[in-house]
Structure 1
């Protein structure tokens, strides 16, 4: 009963810490800003929004809380020693890294930099005596590299779960320039989760004693424990022009699991192998960059999926409310005929649909190469192309630049008037 009361009391105290810290609220604002930018880009590219800002934000916050509670429970058996000064360092570094690239908001990069700084400060302790700078550097002397690496590994296991389950929910169709300058279709998968952690940390004499011994830390837990609030940010950003969004999310989730297991192994090395802290700190960022490189290399080696061919018009996306959604049309499928007329351009599809203004019958080739037939009555005021986002052609007005996730680069670049991108022509919305 005493341990239950201590857990409840300390958890309540940590929740109060979380409530008064600005970092968690900054994370939520960051998520809102990023999703709003995506919705603005959707309107710019497709003249409509494909996602709801309110719905996606509250789901993101809710799943972040679930992830935080799960990670906090596991870390109570692993062990963590995270001074408040380290929390400030994490958020400052995350903010600075996000200015360079949004994907750098991932905790792996901040922890890697903290690990390097920890080694520098430990090697040159006189740095902590420098006026003004010394006070900021002192928390780094006590930085628990093994615990921080374990936290990164655990959070990436949770991220792998979320990416596999909902990584495609915010997928946005985009027009991008292919390897030869031709405009092709693709998907931007990008999500962020602000995660509130309540970490079990050692405390001074007089505090409650744990009935178990955490994996990392050793004798430091004998003096007692308490909870410390530590909000962090999980981020996921991928782009695919060769897979369906859900397939890309599943592949990414599997790779994140492998990465998380490797980072947990690095955490064990940093705890029990002398001098391994610097190796583990550098490796956690290097392995994350290897994931990014692997994904880009795979994308460049595969044929683009969202381009029009001789069979008809490739569907890049489907609007959330419209005839196409009700008829069961899916991204990656090809519209072969409309009302019995073969269609190869957006104009031909429009004319075929106008041939029968009250009814529509489509012959569609699905992603497995099989033909299916769908039909539906049409009503006044509905989308003139049934609510489908077609793969782009040489008339596409905007393309999303490769560095569109950067704060300093425009999300969409307007293409020169009359620009033709070669023989891979087709239709854009």
Structure 2
């Protein structure tokens, strides 16, 4: 139905266009850092779309099983408030913050008229879908970076970013007294829906209509003190626990009214706890991959490059090339600039997650055809001049600065 309806089809491709622009931004950053992009835009958009369909099926099944109706969730208030909160901090565009504020306002002032359990359930379902997508495809767009930590030291790490277009089925509840006279309806069990809409009288009949919509989900994180694969597992697990807890509170609070306070408060506070727990130690603790004097450690490998074909992996230590010891990144650069087409590489690979324990020595052959690069990105020393700087300036402040500059230019 997303493609049959021209309006929904347009929205779907608009979401894909917006997501493609994010992947173009990532590729442009990688090209500035390393000369070539590590993540190709077309490949990323294609994989994100395929995984997004899978996430849509997963989320739709939960949405229908729980029986959340958008008719009572205050979606008209949710988007404008989320966009306003984004001006304070980009991550506040997440519905958990706007949903929590709207729910608390409803409980305290009685306005706006929204179904607090339904709103909490909607936020929980979107986040459990995101957790699933992070687990199965969050590692398909990883960018190696050098970043300055809070100690002022340049360290190596990874930027994890992924965006998905998610076509999902939502429900709209319509009240009608003549439900028994309508044909083509599926009668649901007496226990359904799990989240009962507010303000519905016992003698009132509800018909739930399934409507396909397109959502966009995104994930952004940093992995410095642990491998990206481990960071993705932890994030997915913590987000799943948050989602399951919020969804459980939503279901219970639709039957036990005082629990609505718990659902309303847990939506933003629980999400913030997940974010802060995930970032704990990333900019203060020792990095997972460290520069060691006299060693060349591989930070990452470009896909489809000579190094990738040779089986070289992130974390490998290059010991020798054609029998000659490799002691610094300049040695790797000399290899790349030489006219030699093939190299016998000697590697040391750690075999435990904590590093510095068990390891194995690997012999491999690196061959290049027409490539001018080897595809190796090495861990730099602490004096590296090129690094990524993370700024926490508020979009609202940037907007005020732009307006003030325009005012000053007009006065001139």
Q: Which TM class, normalised by the smaller chain length?
A: 0.7 to 0.9
Q: TM-score, normalised by structure 2?
A: 0.81
Shift of 1:338: 2.1
Q: Distance in 2 between matches of 1:14 and 1:116?
A: 38
Moved more, 294-303 or 338-347: 294-303
Q: CA 1:306–1:100 in structure 2 vs 1: closer, same or farther (change >3 Å)?
A: farther
Q: Which residue of 1 aligns with 2:194?
A: 215
Q: TM-score, normalised by structure 1?
A: 0.78
Q: CA 1:339–1:119 in structure 2 vs 1: closer, same or farther (change >3 Å)?
A: same
Gaps of 5+ in 2: 352-358, 399-412
Query: Is the CA contact (8 Å cut-off) linking 1:150 and 1:267 kept in structure 2?
Result: yes
Moved more, 272-281 or 156-165: 272-281
Query: Is the CA contact (8 Å cut-off) linking 2:2 and 2:8 kept in structure 1?
Result: no
Q: Distance in 1 between matches of 2:362 and 2:64?
A: 53
1:382 is aligned to 2:372:
yes
Q: Which residue of 1 aligns with 2:70?
A: 82
Q: CA 1:46–1:82 in structure 2 vs 1: closer, same or farther (change >3 Å)?
A: same
Q: Distance in 1 between matches of 2:209 and 2:344?
A: 66
Q: SS of the residue aligned with 2:125?
A: helix
Q: Distance in 2 between matches of 1:13 and 1:243?
A: 40
Q: Which residue of 2 aligns with 1:264?
A: 247
Q: CA 1:358–1:274 in structure 2 vs 1: closer, same or farther (change >3 Å)?
A: closer
Q: Which residue of 2 aligns with 1:373?
A: 363
Query: Is the CA contact (8 Å cut-off) linking 2:336 and 2:372 kept in structure 1?
Result: no
Query: Is the CA contact (8 Å cut-off) linking 1:263 and 1:284 kept in structure 2?
Result: yes
Query: Which of 123, 126, 135 is equivalent to 1:152?
Result: 123
Map 1:52-131 onto structure 2 (within 5 A): 52-83=40-71, 86-122=74-110
After superposition, the CA RMSD in angstroms is 3.2
Q: Distance in 1 between matches of 2:166 and 2:336?
A: 48
Q: CA 1:409–1:296 in structure 2 vs 1: closer, same or farther (change >3 Å)?
A: farther
Q: SS of the residue aligned with 1:371?
A: strand
Q: CA 1:157–1:267 in structure 2 vs 1: closer, same or farther (change >3 Å)?
A: same
Shift of 1:216: 1.7
Map 1:176-187 onto structure 2 (within 5 A): 176-187=147-158
1:361 is aligned to 2:344:
yes
Q: CA 1:104–1:398 in structure 2 vs 1: closer, same or farther (change >3 Å)?
A: farther
Q: Distance in 2 between matches of 1:405 and 1:326?
A: 41
Q: SS of the residue aligned with 1:366?
A: strand
Shift of 1:18: 6.3
Gaps of 5+ in 1: 1-11, 126-139, 411-429
Q: Distance in 2 between matches of 1:85 and 1:235?
A: 22
Shift of 1:33: 2.5
Q: CA 1:100–1:266 in structure 2 vs 1: closer, same or farther (change >3 Å)?
A: same
Query: Is the CA contact (8 Å cut-off) linking 2:73 and 2:119 kept in structure 1?
Result: no
Q: Which residue of 1 aligns with 2:274?
A: 291
Shift of 1:236: 1.6
Q: Which residue of 2 aligns with 1:191?
A: 162
